[in-house]
Amino acid sequence: MTPTLAIDALRVGFDSDGGTIAAVREVSLNVEPAECVGLVGESGSGKTQLCMAAMGLLPRGAQVSGSVRFEGREILAASPRDLNRIRGSKLTMIFQDPMTSLTPHLKIGVQLAEVLVIHAQMSWRDAERAALEALERVRVPEPARRLRQYPHELSGGMRQRVMIGMSLLCDPALLIADEPTTALDVTVQAQIIDVLRTMRAESRMAIVLVSHDLGVVAGLADRILVMYAGRVVESASAALLLRHAEHPYTAALLKCVPSLLGPRLERMASIPGSPPAAAGIEVGCAFAPRCPRAQPRCQTERPLLRKASGPPHQVACHYPLSA
């Protein structure tokens, strides 16, 4: 079966005064139909640029190599016309800030209906009916009234529901959600995750969920990829990754999430130092300067992503935790 999204050896770089900045360094990733893949990492790890590449939304100056295929079609070489045909219909994305993703001067109903008028050649009347149904699907209270409102009249959580409703209008094969709950309260975050989970159960849509919060990803993803300095450093099923992390970085990230349930620790865990500058030349393992297990070999030889113990579990580390 063709994967919904197949990324192969993707590199994304940008020119700057200080030389080329490598945002994504050779990432390969498959997303199967109906699968939810979580993408986790600190700011600057390349998560967002990876998504932008998958959407064909990289800025003009970006240097890209490798391949991104959506349902078998190459995205990186696609014409703007072809891209516009699939983006917003079969391939959709929601962002962190739902306020800036909606047009402030158009009513919600118009923004939703427009998608169907353009992509499904519907009449405005039919499109507005479908828009109402879309808001009902994502459990927006008083959907008929919302259609006549402007974005500023809605709360943050309601706007994100509208964005999800909009992204589902044309039965997409893939939804990319880039930090969809980061700007929201915990209670509303739980509601949005719940909406995404329900939508997934009702359709065969695949999801790429990007978040810096392992807790959020744990609630939805089948598989989790951990990124560091533009590379995938660990990849495994969610259950395996959360219980048996192999990469010292993944293990450290998990320790940083303070728990509501466990014993209170004297000091909160953190990872010393900060991620490397993206402009630097890569020698050895990028995490070595912050890694408690680093050995001389880690400074000189870059670890490749390879199979670790058990079922599909990959790790890029010379000294994984089970070794």
Partner 1 sequence: MSQPLLSVTGLGVQFGTFAALQDVSFDLADGETMGLVGESGSGKSTLARAILRLVPATRGRLLWRGEDLLSCGARALRQRRRDLQIVFQDPMASLNPRMRVGETLAEPLKIFEAGLTSAARATRIARMLERVGLSPEMARRYPHEFSGGQCQRIGIARAMMLRPKLLVCDEPVSSLDVSIQGQIVNLLLDLQREFGTAMIFISHNLAVVRHLSHRVLVMYRGRLVEVASRDALFGAPAHPYTRALLAAVPDPTRAFAGRALTTGEAAPAAGRTPPALGGCAFHDRCPYAQPVCLDTVPTLQEVEAEHIVACHRWREVVYS
Where do contacts with partner 1 occur on this chain (CB under 8 A)?
Answer: 42-43, 139, 141, 152-158, 185-191, 193-194, 212-220, 242, 252-254, 256-262, 264-265, 267-272, 274
- Alpha carbons 250 and 202: distance in angstroms, whole number: 32
By beta-carbon proximity to partner 1, the closer residue of 69 and 200 is 200
| Residue ranges of E strands in 77-149 | 91-94
Q: How far apart are the first and last CA of the chain?
A: 35
What minimum distance in Å lies between the beta carbon of 173 and partner 1?
Answer: 25
The CA distance from 198 to 206, in Å, is 13
Smallest distance, Å, CB 81 to partner 1?
38
The span from the CA of 32 to the CA of 261, in Å, is 34
Six-digit token string for 206:
């695949």
Backbone phi, psi, residue 291, to 5°:
-95, 130
Q: How far is the CB of 30 from partner 1 (least distance, A)?
A: 24
Given the complex with partner 1, which of 14 and 150 has the nearer CB atom? 150
Residue 66 falls in which region: left (phi positive, over 0), alpha (psi -120 to 50) or beta? left
For residues 141 and 312, which CB has a smaller minimum distance to partner 1 in the complex?
141
Q: Which is nearer to partner 1, 172 or 275 (CB)?
A: 275
Nearer to partner 1, 208 or 221 (CB): 221
| Stretch (H or E) spanning 4 | none
In angstroms, give the least distance from the CB of 195 to partner 1.
9
What are 67's strand-pairing partners? 8
C-beta of 271: minimal distance to partner 1 in Å?
4
| Choice between 120 and 190, CB closer to partner 1 | 190
Q: Which residues fall within 8 angstroms of residue 89, CB to CB, at 6 or more apart?
A: 115, 119, 120, 169, 170, 172
CB of 1 to partner 1, least distance (A): 29
